[in-house]
Chain A
């Protein structure tokens, strides 16, 4: 008897806490409150964790520097998308439906951003990507913007580097077929490389792998038997570092090039001596600050985190600032009004450069080429679009 009563009491307590829980969240989630919520969905764990965490550092710094807009406090709601496409879609749905965010920042990784594309479009909540570079992220989607350049440009930059700086006549591709980023960037590289060399057959080998693979020895043996002058292998920093290490172990000593995802401390620590000489394109460098905001950002970042900022932190910072600028210009925290203001972003002074969003919602910006030397990323050159 007492036992039954106890169970009944427990159920009552649980039900009542659930009810108060729901009531509480309704109050803070409403549009009339004095808090503006901005959702962030980034990979904090999984194969892209480093990229997501660096981006979030930049976003949090921006929130600290500019915590208010329209006299209201800006609250970040950060959700881990676990480097997984399904989780990314769920994260964005929950940000919009449960947290009532007015705008969304994210995500590192084109595939993760694309997974959220239809949701933000349907729910009419604008999203600003920090570093997803595949053109499809924003294409035919009025609600997706980004503060970085896109892969047709990045692919051309690296093909140019391979042909003009390295004198390469043939190239091989090793791509991650599960990442739209890697497949897209490889395609643009191949197109540009063929055009620059004037040789339709300049790509002598193509190999592929999946995110999460650790062993690339078979692909490397296959690719090296075609004797290319250079290998282009854009992919996650972890997989790429292992791939390069295994290439050097097999005695493949030709230059290996990649894209912006390589810029993470893990690429250097996992790859060790093997990644010496690796060259890749990225968005930003602390060596050549482009605007007055860059200087301020770099100084404040160093103060807060005690290290040098990289491209992803800077892009995270810019995405936040671009959204706040749009809210200010819209004079309202209404999602559709923010979208309209975002689409008119022009010559916004960001940490990574001047940001003007074109008809697709993409920023047109210069690219930076970096090389690994003595275990550090060394700035080589800036390429204008």
Chain B
């Protein structure tokens, strides 16, 4: 199949757009893992809650959209904090597998809670007019949100790196990720640091949910499960625990998916399988991920 230059550029734009969205959600996933060595399976559902809260804040109150965005992200952050208090903290000294099961339970709970409270029928995300413009660049037509998402992803990446590497809280986070018990003995308030980690992780999930809503304005109670799994894969590809790696993994996954459909239309049905195959290949060839550091312990 021959492909014109414009067509290729359109595919590339589509892929970068999807990839940056995956990257955005993967950042929060990988951060929580990096610090706590916990795969937060409820991350995708927190992402869903973020999108729904934004919907309710915009549709049922008169506050401007940008304030609704921030408010929803902060409330989602608080929900993440509560999730950790209720589902993970009581299991702090339990085996790792117990916490993992608790995370899966929390995920199911949030999905069913959302189905009961928000209803099974989808809701249309109210896209602010300002963010719903189409621009044409040399024959390639792109929605403006395609530029906003990578910008936000990169902005959050820089912000997060600053917090982790330059602040006192960040130093505590890094200490915690290296050695939990020693960190506690050094006088680090472990509970506080873990709460902050969950707040930030969930805040990031909410930002991802909002951006997802703008790009795909259909909100459903189970909308978080597939993106959750895909972004987990993106995080593993990049090297779980590594924030830059999550961004790289997100882009690889997004571009890969789009190019699979673009170049091999016959394999479109295997689009989701593509992500899993990629995961298997990475785990076989380079278990630590592309940018991951050596891990000495196994989950």
B12 CB, nearest partner CB in chain A, Å = 10
Question: Residue on B with the closest CB to A218?
Answer: B261
Residue of A nearest to B119 (CB): A49
Which residues from chain B contact A269 at a C-beta distance below 8 Å?
123-124
Contact A266 B124 (CB under 8 A): yes
Instruction: Look across to chain B and name the residue whose beta carbon is closest to the beta carbon of A269.
Output: B124
Which stretch in A119-127, A209-217, A280-288 binds the other chain? A209-217
Taking the closest CB of chain B, its distance from the CB of A354, in whole angstroms, is 32
User: Which residues between 94 and 125 of chain B lie within 8 Å of chain A, taking CB atoms?
Assistant: 115, 119-124
Cβ-defined contact, B218 with A238, below 8 A? yes
Chain B nearest CB: distance from A226 CB in Å? 11
Which chain B residue has the least Cβ–Cβ distance from A215?
B18
- Cβ < 8 Å to B, chain A residues 175-196: 177-178
User: A46–B222 contact, CB under 8 A?
Assistant: yes
* A50–B272 CA distance with the chains assembled, in angstroms: 25
Least CB distance, A57 to chain B, in whole angstroms: 12
| B136-184 contacts to A (CB < 8 Å) | 136, 141-143
Interchain CA distance A251-B7 in the complex, whole Å: 12
Q: 8 Å CB contacts to A: which residues of B1-30?
A: 3-4, 7, 10-11, 14-15, 17-18
Could you give, for residues 194-231 of chain A, a 1 whenever the CB lies within 8 Å of some chain B CB and a 0 otherwise?
A: 00000000000001111011110111011001000000
Chain B residues, CB < 8 A from A215: 14, 18, 216, 257-258
Say which size band chain A's interface belongs to: 35 or more
Q: Which of A104-112, A155-163, A242-250, A364-372 contacts B (4 or more CB under 8 A)?
A: A242-250
Residue of A nearest to B266 (CB): A208
Interface centre among B10, B18, B121 (most CB of A within 10 A): B121
Task: Determine whether the beta carbon of A50 is less than 8 Å from that of B121.
Answer: yes
User: Given A50-B122, A210-B269, A210-B271, does the pair A221, B134 have CB atoms closer than 8 Å?
Assistant: no
A272 at the interface (CB under 8 A from B): yes
A219 x B265 contact (CB < 8 A): yes
In the complex, residue of chain B having the shortest beta-carbon distance to the beta carbon of A250: B141
Q: Is B226 an interface residue (CB 8 A)?
A: yes
The reply on A270 being an interface residue by CB < 8 A is: yes
Contact of A249 among B121, B141, B262 (CB under 8 A): B141
Q: Contact partner of A225 among B7, B14, B122, B272, CB < 8 A?
A: B7
Instruction: Assess the B120–A242 pair: CB atoms within 8 A.
Output: no
Cβ-based interface call for B241 (8 A): no
For B261, the chain A residues whose CB sits under 8 A away are 218-219, 222
Check B14–A46 contact: CB distance below 8 A.
no
Residues of B with C-beta under 8 A to A355:
none
**Looking at the complex, which one of A178, A242, A248 makes contact with B218 (CB distance below 8 Å)?**
A242
Residues of B within 8 A of A219 (CB): 261, 265, 268
Quick check: is B287 within 8 A (CB to CB) of the other chain? no
Q: Is A53 among interface residues, defined by CB-CB distance under 8 A?
A: yes
Please give, as numbers and ranges, the residues of chain A lying within 8 Å of B272 by CB-CB distance. Answer: 210
Within 8 A of A (CB), among B221-272: 221-222, 226, 257-262, 265, 268-269, 271-272
Residue B216 contacts which of A210, A214, A218, A266 (CB distance < 8 angstroms)?
A214
Question: B127: CB under 8 A from chain A?
Answer: yes
Q: How far is the CA of A242 from the CA of B18 in the complex (A)?
A: 14
A309 to B126, CA, bound (A): 25
A102 proximal to B (CB < 8 A): no
Task: Give chain B nearest CB distance to A83 CB in angstroms.
Answer: 9
Closest partner residue, chain B, to A214 (CB atom): B216
Q: Is the CB of A249 within 8 A of B11?
A: no
Q: Is the CB of A208 within 8 A of B268?
A: yes
**Docked pose: A210 CA to B119 CA in angstroms:** 23
| Interface residue? A93 (CB, 8 A) | no
Q: With an 8 A cutoff between CB atoms, is A241 at the interface?
A: yes
Query: CA of A44 to CA of B116 in the docked complex: distance in angstroms?
Result: 11
The reply to whether B134 and A177 form a contact with Cβ atoms under 8 Å apart is no
Decide: B121 and A266 in contact? CB cutoff 8 A: yes
Q: Which residues of B contact A249 (CB under 8 A)?
A: 134, 141-143
Task: Point out the residues of chain B lying under 8 angstroms from A360, CB to CB.
Answer: none
Q: Which residues of A contact B119 (CB under 8 A)?
A: 49
Instruction: Produce 1/0 per residue, A37-64, CB < 8 A to B.
Output: 0000000111101100100000000000
Residues of chain B within 8 A (CB-CB) of A250 are 10, 141
Name the distance in Å between B272's Cβ and chain A's nearest Cβ: 7
Cα distance, A241 to B291, chains bound together (Å): 38
Knowing A207-B265, A249-B142, A270-B124, the reply to whether A214 touches B218 (Cβ < 8 A) is yes
The interface residues of chain B lying within 8 Å CB-to-CB of A207 are 265, 268
- In the complex, A49→B118 CA distance in Å? 13
Give the distance in Å from the alpha carbon of A47 to the alpha carbon of B122 in the complex.
8
Given contacts A218-B11, A249-B134, A251-B141, contact A49 B271 (CB under 8 A): no
Q: How far is B126's CA from A270's CA once the two chains are assembled, in angstroms?
A: 9
Closest chain-A Cβ to B66's Cβ sits at a distance in Å of 20
Judge whether A217 and B122 touch: CB under 8 Å.
no
Closest to B1 in A: A222
Least CB distance from B147 to A in Å reads 13
Please determine whether B120 and A46 come into contact, CB atoms closer than 8 angstroms: yes
CA distance A270 to B121 in the complex (A): 12
B240 to chain A, nearest CB (A): 24
Q: A49-B122, A221-B7, A249-B141 are in contact. Are A272 and B127 (CB under 8 A)?
A: yes
Q: A208-B269, A221-B10, A225-B4 are in contact. Are A238 and B122 (CB under 8 A)?
A: yes
Contacts of B271 in A (CB 8 A): 210, 213
Contact with B along A234-266 (1 / 0, CB 8 A): 000010011001001111000000000000001
Q: Smallest Cβ distance from A217 to chain B, in angstroms? A: 4
Contact B218 A218 (CB under 8 A): no
4 shortest interchain CB distances as A-B pairs: A45-B120, A251-B141, A269-B124, A218-B261
Q: Sample 10 A-B pairs with CB under 8 A, ordered by A number.
A: A49-B220, A208-B269, A212-B226, A215-B14, A218-B11, A218-B258, A225-B4, A241-B218, A251-B141, A269-B123
Additional pairs, 13, CB under 8 Å, beyond known A209-B268, A251-B136: A46-B222, A49-B122, A210-B271, A215-B216, A218-B14, A218-B261, A219-B265, A225-B3, A225-B4, A249-B141, A250-B10, A251-B141, A269-B124
Interface residues of A (CB under 8 A from B): 44-47, 49-50, 53, 80, 177-178, 207-210, 212-215, 217-219, 221-222, 225, 238, 241-242, 245, 248-251, 266, 269-270, 272
